[in-house]
Amino acid sequence: MLKKIKVALTFFIVLLTANTYGQSNNFKVTLDAGHGAHDFGAVYSGRIEKNIALAIALKVGKILESNPKITVIYTRKTDVFIDLVERANIANRANSHIFVSIHCNANKNLAADGTETYVMGMTKVASNLEAAKKENAVITLEKDYKQKYEGFDPNSPETMIGMTLMQEEYLENSIALASKIEDAFGLLGKKLRQGGVKQAPYMVLHKAYMPRVLIETGFVSNAAEGQVLNSEKGQDDIARAIADAIISYKNEYFGNGEVENAGEKPSEILKETQEKKEEVQEASKPIKKDTLGVIYKIQLSATKKKLAISPKNFKGLKNVSVVFEDNLYKYQYGESNDYEDAKSQLKEVKAKGFESAYLIAFKNGKKISIQEAIK
């Protein structure tokens, strides 16, 4: 009897080890159902974005999970609220190969329709910026969001400019994935019009260290399209299109079998980012707490390369400091309590050749938006 138990236990351990090994080499997909709990997203005539997004995400996951070479990670599987930065970090910690955030669109123009798949990036297209503002506004529901997002203003995407340089590393693959998703939507016929691949500064995409996309599956504000989105059949079709696109992307870029774990993992980048941030912040010049509570500085540049704080590296500028944020070294110049004086310094800095420099502000040592500082 004891021998049988030992044999059974050995078999179980072997099976568990094999399964764990297989999982470690699987293609990992993090599916993010937008919104949740008290954050309803867009709501029109009983059509609720958070519910539709979750239903589609679960259906996509179920399809992908039928493939033994794919592991699915969910940011949420129930009606709960997850911070935007935590959604990205779930994917980072899991070392996911791609991050897919699923949403529904809405517009005051009730005739607006079609799908749109976004990749991370700055844009001057007003409609893209408005879409990003709408989704980024979710952070205002989070506790201490001003401190957590270090002065990012969801109503002013320009405050993300200093964060965007690192995005180029994943942009090409993100566009490839987004294109496959839009092509798959096209195969659904007249049910959903393809809006195409677009760029916008979505905070949920910004913090994920891998190819990532945000899908607007259609307009819940459009009566006909909203009905498709809210129906079981419509959700099944949309989920199948997204899953087929993900599988196609995996097969093209990673092959049909197990995935080689080459290169730096997202979890390692996340850890390295935190360590560098702590290292640089410890060595950098602290922000003074003044009687007015507001200090303006000028961000000169943001780069992955660490530079010595020497005037020769900054075109003669002497009062330069550095912080490590968003996987980048951010070099800052000057320090003033006066907005007009800071603007004058910015003109001087631009004249020296730092054309992309811009103002940043701190209140009692915490980074805030320029708009809040002026108020």
Give all strands (DSSP E) within 53-172, no chain letters.
70-74, 98-105, 115-120
- Residue 291: predicted pLDDT: 42
Nearest-CA neighbor of 117 among 5, 225, 193, 35?
A: 193
Helix, strand or coil, per DSSP, at residue 185: helix
Mean per-residue pLDDT pooled into runs of 10, the chain (375 residues): 50 42 76 95 95 98 96 98 91 96 94 92 63 66 62 59 53 92 86 81 84 95 95 96 96 78 71 64 48 79 78 84 80 88 88 83 82 75
Q: Where are the domains of the chain?
A: 2-263, 268-374
The span from the CA of 39 to the CA of 316, in Å, is: 49
Paired residues of 336 in beta bridges:
296
Sign of the alpha-carbon torsion through 97, 200, 86, 48: negative
Task: Give me the phi and psi of 227, to 5 degrees please.
Answer: -65, -40
- Residue 129: predicted pLDDT: 63
- Residue 299: predicted pLDDT: 87
Question: Which tokens is 215 given?
Answer: 């899908």
Cβ-based neighbours of 130, under 8 Å, separated by 6 or more? none
The span from the CA of 296 to the CA of 238, in Å, is: 48
For residues 149 and 162, the answer to whether their CB atoms sit within 8 Å is: no
The span from the CA of 251 to the CA of 255, in Å, is: 4
- Residue 18: predicted pLDDT: 39
Q: Which CATH number describes the domain made up of 2-263?
A: 3.40.630.40
- Residue 166: predicted pLDDT: 46
- Residue 29: predicted pLDDT: 98
For residues 76 and 54, the answer to whether their CB atoms sit within 8 Å is: yes
Helix, strand or coil, per DSSP, at residue 40: coil
The span from the CA of 254 to the CA of 278, in Å, is: 35
The span from the CA of 117 to the CA of 255, in Å, is: 24
Question: Which tokens is 103 given?
Answer: 């949403």
Over residues 207-265, the pLDDT tens digits come to: 888 999 999 999 999 999 999 999 999 999 999 999 999 999 999 988 876 766 556 78
Over residues 165-185, the pLDDT tens digits come to: 445 568 889 999 999 999 999
- Residue 7: predicted pLDDT: 46
Cβ-based neighbours of 274, under 8 Å, separated by 6 or more? none
The span from the CA of 49 to the CA of 42, in Å, is: 5
Question: Which tokens is 4 given?
Answer: 């049988």
- Residue 31: predicted pLDDT: 98
CATH homologous superfamily for the domain 268-374: Sporulation related repeat (3.30.70.1070)
